[in-house]
């Protein structure tokens, strides 16, 4: 079957970013940096939810689109601010004996409407929520015992980017049972390993699947979703073509997904922290 190359999405993706000046020198002027950050966000279509600007650091709460990778967003913000800073304040660095404006790296974590613990409980309770009970229904869910957070060690960067993803089957037909789910779990872990995301836990329903995963900053959640959809589609064609023939759901998935960011703290908590409330 032809792979999915573009899909629609419903999403709520919030990211708390922090980057500091070189050697924590007091280089930044709030009004100057605020103007540059606002210009970049408007041009690149980042939604700035809250900010905290100090002479030695910038903290931002952003809402992004599924195809926007965090590392690229940070690169755009730091690069544009550094360039405009040099043009508008040509003696700023030399006056503080600074080699450059920014220190290497950045800090990035996700937040969301609910915190990570609530999201984990929600994913794990999908079977009883939909009325599936009994010992067999336990085999519809999977917890990756090897998962640890942060899942990735990245030089000069601490990034903990957690996502709740929901995929629905083509025409919402019932494709999955506890047998197929049990065989798909280890395969999905391999897909994550190949595409730079780590699966925390998964729950299958007959016509949809919930996942919690953590990805590296250079991979967008849209890339993660497409990797899951395309690879599991081919796996189903290879191993369960009879089921697909019977249901005529050869695409396996609807060409859409839901993605929500989650973290240790909710977006409301992060926003209050940055606003000083």
Examine the pLDDT at 38 and tell me if it is beyond 80.
Answer: yes
- Rounded percentage of the chain residues whose pLDDT exceeds 90: 90
Q: Domain spans of the chain?
A: 11-110+268-275, 113-266
Query: Is 208 within 8 Å of 164 (Cβ atoms)?
Result: no
pTM assigned to the model: 0.96
Q: What's the pLDDT band for 189 if we cut at 50, 70, 90?
A: very high
- Look at strands 256-262 and 157-168 and give their pairing: antiparallel
- Annotation: CATH topology of 11-110+268-275: Alpha-Beta Plaits (3.30.70)
Q: What's the pLDDT band for 6 if we cut at 50, 70, 90?
A: confident
Distance from C-alpha of 203 to C-alpha of 181, rounded to nearest angstrom: 8
Examine the pLDDT at 2 and tell me if it is beyond 90.
Answer: no
Examine the pLDDT at 133 and tell me if it is beyond 90.
Answer: no
pLDDT at 135: 87
CA end-to-end span of the chain: 53
CATH class of 113-266: alpha beta
pLDDT at 229: 98
pLDDT at 166: 98
Instruction: Dig out the tokens for 75 from the structure.
Output: 């690169």
Within this chain, domains 11-110+268-275 and 113-266 share the same CATH topology: yes
Instruction: Dig out the tokens for 206 from the structure.
Output: 């007959």
Considering only CA atoms, which of 57, 53, 47, 63 is closest in space to residue 111?
63
Q: What's the pLDDT band for 7 if we cut at 50, 70, 90?
A: very high
> CA angle, corner 268, sides to 267 and 270, nearest 5?
65
Task: Write a three-state SS string for 23-82.
Answer: HHCCCCCHHHHHHHHHHHHHHHCCEEEEEEEECCEEEEEEECCCCCCHHHHHHHHHHHHH
Average pLDDT, the chain: 95
- Rounded percentage of the chain residues whose pLDDT exceeds 70: 99
């Amino acid at each position: 079957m032809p792979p999915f190359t573009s899909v629609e999405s419903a999403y709520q993706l919030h990211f708390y970013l922090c980057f500091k000046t070189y050697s924590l020198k007091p280089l930044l002027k709030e009004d100057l940096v605020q103007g540059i950050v606002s210009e970049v966000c408007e041009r690149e279509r980042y939604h700035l939810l809250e900010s905290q600007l100090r002479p030695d650091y910038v903290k931002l709460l952003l809402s992004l689109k599924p195809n926007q990778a965090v590392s690229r967003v940070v690169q755009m913000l730091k690069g544009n601010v550094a360039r405009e800073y040099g043009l508008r304040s040509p003696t700023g660095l030399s006056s503080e004996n600074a080699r450059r404006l920014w220190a290497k790296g950045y800090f990035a974590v996700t937040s969301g409407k609910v915190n990570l613990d609530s999201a984990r409980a929600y994913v794990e309770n999908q079977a009883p929520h939909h009325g599936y009970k009994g010992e067999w229904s336990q085999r519809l869910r999977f917890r990756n015992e090897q998962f640890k957070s942060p899942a990735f060690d990245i030089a000069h960067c601490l990034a903990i980017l957690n996502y709740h993803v929901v995929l629905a089957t083509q025409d919402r037909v019932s494709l999955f049972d506890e047998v197929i789910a049990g065989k798909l779990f280890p395969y999905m872990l391999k897909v994550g390993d190949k595409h730079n995301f780590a699966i925390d836990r998964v729950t299958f329903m007959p016509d949809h699947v919930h996942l919690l995963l953590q990805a590296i900053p250079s991979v967008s959640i849209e890339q993660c979703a497409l990797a899951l959809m395309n690879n599991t589609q081919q796996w189903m064609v290879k191993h369960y073509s009879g089921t697909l023939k019977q249901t005529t759901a050869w695409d396996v998935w609807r060409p859409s997904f839901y993605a929500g960011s989650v973290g240790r703290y909710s977006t409301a908590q992060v926003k209050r922290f940055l606003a000083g409330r």
